[in-house]
Amino acid sequence: MYTIEQTKKYQAETVELLKTAGKKISAKELQHLKEVLRFHEHRYYILSDPLISDFEYDQLFKTLERTEAEHPDWITADSPTQRVAAGITTNFVTVEHLVPMLSLENSYNADDLLDWDRKARELSKLTEVEYCVEPKFDGASISLIYENDLFTRGATRGDGVHGELITTNLKQIRSIPLSAAFSRYGIQQIEIRGEVLINKDNFKKFNEKLAEQNLPPLANPRNAASGTLRIKDPKEVGKRNLEAFLYHVSDYSLISGKKADTALQSHAGCLQMLWDLGFRSPVKEKKVIKGIQGVIDYCIDYEAERDKLPYEIDGMVIKVNDINIQDRLGMTTHHPRWAIAYKFKARQATSILKNVEFQVGRTGSITPVAKIEPVPIGGVTVGSISLHNEDFIREKDIRIGDSVLVERAGDVIPYIVKSLPELRKNNVKPIVFPTNCPVCGDKLYKPEGEAVWRCPNMNCKAQVVERIIHFTSKDAMDIRGLGEANIRNFFELGWLTDVPSIYTLPYDQMAKLEGMGAKSVNNLKEAIEKSKSQPVHRLINALGIRYVGETTAKVLARTVTHLSDLRDYSIENLLQIEDVGAKVAESIYQFFHNPDNIKMIERLEALGLTLKRSGISEITGNLSNLTFLFTGTLTKLKRTAAEELVEKNGGKLLSGVSSKLNYLVVGDDAGSKLEKARKIPSINIIDEDAFIKMTGYGIL
Ligand code: IVH
């Protein structure tokens, strides 16, 4: 709809108009401003490809609102303030929402909230307003209709007035009940709103699957959720484990002769009703607070905990709790006056791509790494970002000198969402992929059907160093003190030449190195010696066999009594092992039929490493399918030992308190996790002794 020329023109005007924030503008500038806003709405709602941040959009929109308030005669029927953005992509059948799905006004700090509260108090004529505060879920918004207690229609937000009909896809989401007894509340038909999400774990797994198929990962859970909702095959939707939070009743009609239930008189009441009817509504996450100061505090506290949640949120939503007062406040054409979003610090930023370096991994894979002008995102400065592979670069049309949009969502690693060719100057250069290994110079090759170029030289210095780094890492042999810097240094000195050389380091000479006191040498020696008795599953993981991570390593360790047994396994034998598919079996087979690897394993055994499974089975399975989290200081067990005990017994560790948690094990001086867990009745809170008993290791 917009040509490249127009896009460039509007982008340039955006920059100029942003400078007018808070200033008076002329009628002519106002005309430009409206066009620019329409352009950005099109980028956002139609193309799902915004060129500016929400904050920048809001600044422009506020200038428009303010100017129109000052000059009501300048308002035109087609002003962005006079309508909800129009037009949608029409892949699915289009339906009209019973009530338009408005968006929310945004706020970014305490002052914005204080201003908003002042207006709410003025309009409601109250000295203090009661608010309901809840997370702003970062997913895809949906609208559901229930009639006579049955789920009859589900739609995407679309342009706010019309959405796409996706009932069948939504029925695949388990947290959306197919029927719900609204009649108990006197309701005949109801329209409710919510957000579809994919949690961080599932998102990670989904991206891992894409990587296995050599497809580039999705940028963030939000894209994964909205993309999944539009898949044509509902079965595929079902496999993606989407979740839905329902947070708003937008419309309802009553069964004749019935009166509206009192639950419908407040927002918190509506959330409770939805919860009671089997929906996932944020009843536990929300807080009802009188006065704005408590609201501000809750928002700030929640932001600090943001990364611990299993799903992404991008802010909080503050709603006037009393529905009568909501009605009194009403809405503008764009958003309700009774609600506002409080946006957390941005996790996206634009930067310039300065250069691309090519790194060699431990399996010889060549990864292009973008070096960007460092930018702060969500409290961390980002300067290097993986570009995955050549296809990724080509698909996203990324060039050196380009402006790039960078995202760092939660614990997801930084990611280039896209380049912004609209802002491209003449001096951009294409990214040229090397034909030879940047470290050893060998000719690179690309196996058929794979996206990654590889260096074929097993003895390539980069590969050897990366293998040693992986071997010593926390999830592998966990040799503290032998960090990346030391490994590189010892390699240059000729002390480290391969993995077994870790166990023959010259400690006397090491003590003479600058900055390496006798104490640190001794600590390192102890750590290296200790690693010799690490359980065999850690050693298997440490060997860095392609496609064999922690989980498969544990399965293999359970299967064999001695690591070298794997030499005798045929592909067919390997395929019998649980979770081992064709690709993994092939890789294990190749590894154990490579004479260099066999020699290495024999040397490791001669050096005293444990290659045998310990005599008594460590696995009792007592904790299988249960989830655990530890908080505070344990007195009998080390935290790591306790965590290992969970895994050995078939349990799973979670990283934060959520409704998925079965047991919170509480040590001394437990803090916020305990408080949070107390609010979730399904969590069992136990002490260390009870935990030890559960594991069946009473003797510990
Ligand atoms: S209330 C009329 N509550 O944020 C008010 N919206 O930027 C309806 N969102 O379109 C919205 N979490 O998709 C509301 N707890 C929450 C929300 C929420 C996420 C989304 C929603 C909305 C957008 C506005």
Please tell me the distance from the alpha carbon of residue 131 to that of residue 399, in angstroms, as a whole number: 48
Query: How deeply is 555 buried, as exposed, middle or buried, from its count of CB atoms within 10 A (0-12, 13-18, 19+)?
Result: middle
3-state secondary structure 311-374: CCEEEEEEEECEHHHHHHHCECCCCECCEEEEECCCCEEEEEEEEEEEEECCCCEEEEEEEEEE
Q: DSSP assignment of 475-489, as one string?
A: TTT--TT--HHHHHH
Query: Mean of the pLDDT values across residues 291-314?
Result: 93
The pLDDT value given to residue 87 = 35
Band (620; pLDDT cuts 50, 70, 90): low
Mean pLDDT across the chain:
88
Please tell me the distance from the alpha carbon of residue 313 to that of residue 344, in angstroms, as a whole number: 9
The pLDDT value given to residue 174 = 80
Query: Mean of the pLDDT values across residues 307-324?
Result: 94
**318 CA distance to ligand 1 middle (Å):** 10
**368 CA distance to ligand 1 middle (Å):** 38
Please tell me the distance from the alpha carbon of residue 323 to that of residue 338, in angstroms, as a whole number: 9
628 strand-pairing partners: 653, 663
Give the best-scoring range by mean pLDDT among 83-92, 138-147, 691-700. 138-147
Show the tokens assigned to 147. Answer: 């009639």
Show the tokens assigned to 280. Answer: 């996932």
Residue 83 has pLDDT above 50, yes or no: no
SS3 of residue 265 by DSSP: helix
Instruction: Name the residue with higher pLDDT: 362 or 670.
Output: 362
Query: Mean of the pLDDT values across residues 436-445?
Result: 97
Which contiguous run of DSSP H or E holds residue 241? none
Query: How deeply is 205 buried, as exposed, middle or buried, from its count of CB atoms within 10 A (0-12, 13-18, 19+)?
Result: middle
- Percentage, residues of the chain above pLDDT 70: 94
Q: How far apart are the first and last CA of the chain?
A: 70
The verdict on the CB of residue 247 being under 6 Å from ligand 1 is yes
Please tell me the distance from the alpha carbon of residue 646 to that of residue 629, in angstroms, as a whole number: 10
The pLDDT value given to residue 379 = 75
How big is the chain by its Cα radius of gyration, in Å? 29
DSSP-assigned letter for residue 115: H
Query: Mean of the pLDDT values across residues 147-160?
Result: 93
The pLDDT value given to residue 214 = 56
- Cross-sheet strand order for the sheet of 366-377: 380-386, 366-377, 348-360, 403-407, 415-419
Which residue's CA lies nearest to atom 2 of ligand 1?
102
Query: Mean of the pLDDT values across residues 434-459?
Result: 93
The pLDDT value given to residue 216 = 67
Query: Mean of the pLDDT values across residues 362-378?
Result: 92
Please tell me the distance from the alpha carbon of residue 139 to that of residue 221, in angstroms, as a whole number: 7
The pLDDT value given to residue 342 = 97
Band (685; pLDDT cuts 50, 70, 90): confident
Residue 559 has pLDDT above 50, yes or no: yes
The pLDDT value given to residue 55 = 80
| Identity of the residue numbered 513 | L
CB 343 within 8 A of CB 48: no
**210 CA distance to ligand 1 middle (Å):** 30
Please tell me the distance from the alpha carbon of residue 67 to that of residue 71, in angstroms, as a whole number: 6
The pLDDT value given to residue 638 = 79
The pLDDT value given to residue 413 = 77
Torsion of CA 243, 676, 344, 329, to 10 degrees: 80
The pLDDT value given to residue 179 = 82
Which residue's CA lies nearest to atom 21 of ligand 1?
141
Please tell me the distance from the alpha carbon of residue 626 to that of residue 647, in angstroms, as a whole number: 10
Show the tokens assigned to 311. Answer: 């799903």
Residue 441 has pLDDT above 80, yes or no: yes
Among candidate residues 483, 462, 460, the one with its CA nearest the CA of residue 471: 483
Q: Hey, which of 104, 306, 329 would you mutate to test ligand 1's pocket, going by the most ligand atoms within 8 Å of its Cβ?
A: 104
Give the best-scoring range by mean pLDDT among 79-88, 271-280, 306-315, 487-496. 487-496
Give the best-scoring range by mean pLDDT among 18-27, 78-87, 149-158, 635-644. 149-158
DSSP-assigned letter for residue 143: E
The pLDDT value given to residue 617 = 42
The verdict on the CB of residue 325 being under 6 Å from ligand 1 is no
Name 42's Cβ contacts closer than 8 Å, sequence gap at least 6: 1, 2, 87
| Identity of the residue numbered 125 | K
Lowest-pLDDT choice from 26-40, 290-304, 627-641: 627-641
Which residue's CA lies nearest to atom 15 of ligand 1?
136
The pLDDT value given to residue 247 = 97
The pLDDT value given to residue 23 = 85
Query: Mean of the pLDDT values across residues 471-483?
Result: 93
Alpha-carbon torsion 138, 139, 140, 145, what sign? negative
The verdict on the CB of residue 192 being under 6 Å from ligand 1 is no
What's CA 440's distance to the chain center, in Å? Answer: 36
SS3 of residue 258 by DSSP: coil
Band (614; pLDDT cuts 50, 70, 90): low
Band (89; pLDDT cuts 50, 70, 90): very low
Q: Hey, which of 317, 319, 331 would you mutate to test ligand 1's pocket, going by the most ligand atoms within 8 Å of its Cβ?
A: 317
Instruction: Name the residue with higher pLDDT: 216 or 254.
Output: 254
Residue 482 has pLDDT above 60, yes or no: yes
Residue 541 has pLDDT above 70, yes or no: yes
Lowest-pLDDT choice from 206-210, 388-392, 597-601, 630-634: 206-210
Among candidate residues 682, 674, 644, the one with its CA nearest the CA of residue 656: 674
Q: DSSP assignment of 273-308, as one string?
A: HHHHTT---TTTT-EEEESHHHHHHHHHHHHHHGGG
**49 CA distance to ligand 1 middle (Å):** 20
The verdict on the CB of residue 134 being under 6 Å from ligand 1 is yes
**12 CA distance to ligand 1 middle (Å):** 31
Which residue's CA lies nearest to atom 1 of ligand 1?
248
Length of the chain: 700
Please tell me the distance from the alpha carbon of residue 137 to that of residue 157, in angstroms, as a whole number: 14
Q: Hey, which of 137, 159, 246, 287 would you mutate to test ligand 1's pocket, going by the most ligand atoms within 8 Å of its Cβ?
A: 137
The verdict on the CB of residue 336 being under 6 Å from ligand 1 is yes
The verdict on the CB of residue 102 being under 6 Å from ligand 1 is yes
Query: Mean of the pLDDT values across residues 614-631?
Result: 69
Query: Mean of the pLDDT values across residues 343-366?
Result: 92
Residue 46 has pLDDT above 50, yes or no: no
The pLDDT value given to residue 588 = 96
The pLDDT value given to residue 213 = 59
131 strand-pairing partners: 289, 320
What's CA 473's distance to the chain center, in Å? Answer: 24
Please tell me the distance from the alpha carbon of residue 275 to that of residue 187, in angstroms, as a whole number: 16
| Identity of the residue numbered 540 | I
Which residue's CA lies nearest to atom 16 of ligand 1?
136
SS3 of residue 676 by DSSP: helix
Query: Mean of the pLDDT values across residues 381-402?
Result: 92
**144 CA distance to ligand 1 middle (Å):** 14
Query: Mean of the pLDDT values across residues 306-329?
Result: 94
CB 144 within 8 A of CB 154: yes
CB 214 within 8 A of CB 449: yes
The verdict on the CB of residue 137 being under 6 Å from ligand 1 is yes
Please tell me the distance from the alpha carbon of residue 144 to that of residue 97, in angstroms, as a whole number: 9
The pLDDT value given to residue 615 = 42
Band (92; pLDDT cuts 50, 70, 90): confident
**104 CA distance to ligand 1 middle (Å):** 7
The verdict on the CB of residue 159 being under 6 Å from ligand 1 is no
Largest separation between any pair of C-alpha atoms in the chain: 92
Which residue's CA lies nearest to atom 18 of ligand 1?
136
SS3 of residue 581 by DSSP: coil
- Supply the residues annotated as catalytic: 136
Please tell me the distance from the alpha carbon of residue 480 to that of residue 474, in angstroms, as a whole number: 8
Among candidate residues 490, 478, 590, the one with its CA nearest the CA of residue 535: 478
